[in-house]
Amino acid sequence: MSIVCRFAPSPNGNLHLGHAYSALVNHAAAREAAGTFLLRIEDIDATRSRPDFIRAIADDLDWLGILPPAPPRLQSAHFSAYAAALAHLEREGLLYPAFETRGEIARAVLAKEADGQSWPRDPDGAPLSPFPREAMPDSARRRRREAGEPYALRLDMARACTLVGETLTWREAIGGPLQPPQIITAEPARWGDVVLARKEVPASYHVAVVVDDAVQAISHVIRGQDLYAATAVHRLLQTLLGLPEPIYHHHRLVRDGDGRKLSKSTGAASLAALRAAGASRAQVLELVARNLA
């Protein structure tokens, strides 16, 4: 099997040490196996992506000495591929437009919890929607969507799991990306009726990532532990869409000095800022190694 790995950042901020680690682990795995290392720009959400961040990603990888020679795949250039995947799911009756806003969902869940009810949360901690598909006929949903109301296209998780029928699993290379994988049971139902598109965002991360991993023939999906639980959704979509199953390796995360996960929102030092402050490549590698969780 020829090994193909990818680094798939979202261009909504500058890369930080956590991204550098992820890119380096991917690059090292591809090099060790004489395989291919690819770059994918996950700019599906045009409301948050910016071209200057795309340029900065290439500059950072170049500086790290691992910029792939092949041009990156830009998700924004492949909307029709994601639309085709969504149309397939829609034909199977697995999607429905939901009109409740995030605020309405949060308030309805708060009200339940204030009543002493416990309400399920997805593995990322977000409450599942308390508005089931059955609460509104599909014909009314269709009318509201056609009338131009903002909506989220949700996967009917119960129906999707019934259609798949079998217990889903994935192969996780635990000791390192190229180690023989172990079988993990996937539990997509924990995510509830996940959002797969919105009126203003034509496909969610979950849809785009499984389509792209298939199109780019990714053999090994190497990414951070924070995406471990999402793999269950990815396996479900791969099965529903008839896409191949890569091997997964979820690597450790880089923490900041206080042990928190690095993220753009917590203002983690960017590679660009470290570079501007005169840090060498060796110093960046040393910082990554020191802060691995």
Q: Of these, 3, 4, 5, 10, which contacts ligand GLU (CB under 6 A)?
A: 10
Q: Of these, 16, 154, 206, 223, which contacts ligand GLU (CB under 6 A)?
A: 223
Cα–Cα distance, 287 to 281 (Å, whole number) = 10
Euclidean distance between the first and the last CA atom of the chain, given in angstroms as a whole number: 31
Phi-psi region of 132 (alpha: psi -120 to 50; beta: other; left: phi over 0): beta
Site residues for ligand GLU, window 41-100 (CB under 6 A)?
42
Site residues for ligand GLU, window 180-219 (CB under 6 A)?
209
Cα–Cα distance, 177 to 174 (Å, whole number) = 7
Tell me how far, at minimum, the Cβ of 106 lies from ligand GLU, in Å.
Answer: 23
DSSP element (H, E) containing 96: strand 95-98
Tell me how far, at minimum, the Cβ of 245 lies from ligand GLU, in Å.
Answer: 14
Q: Are residues 247 and 221 in contact, defined by beta-carbon separation less than 8 angstroms?
A: yes
Q: Which is nearer to ligand GLU, 160 or 218 (CB)?
A: 218
Q: Which is nearer to ligand GLU, 5 or 95 (CB)?
A: 5
Q: Are residues 57 and 15 in contact, defined by beta-carbon separation less than 8 angstroms?
A: yes
- The tokens describing 273, both together, are 């800022």
Site track 15-44 with ligand GLU (rule: CB under 6 A), x = hit: ---------------------------x--
Q: Of these, 108, 201, 227, 293, which contacts ligand GLU (CB under 6 A)?
A: 227
Q: Which is nearer to ligand GLU, 70 or 158 (CB)?
A: 70
Asked if 9 touches ligand GLU (CB under 6 A), the answer is yes
DSSP letter at 108 equals: H
Asked if 269 touches ligand GLU (CB under 6 A), the answer is no
- The tokens describing 251, both together, are 């690597």
Q: How many CB atoms lie within 10 A of CB 124?
A: 10
Cα–Cα distance, 142 to 99 (Å, whole number) = 11
Q: Which is nearer to ligand GLU, 136 or 227 (CB)?
A: 227
User: Segment near ligand GLU (CB under 6 A), from 7-15, 113-121, 142-150, 169-177?
Assistant: 7-15
Residues binding ligand GLU (CB under 6 A): 8-10, 42, 209, 223, 227
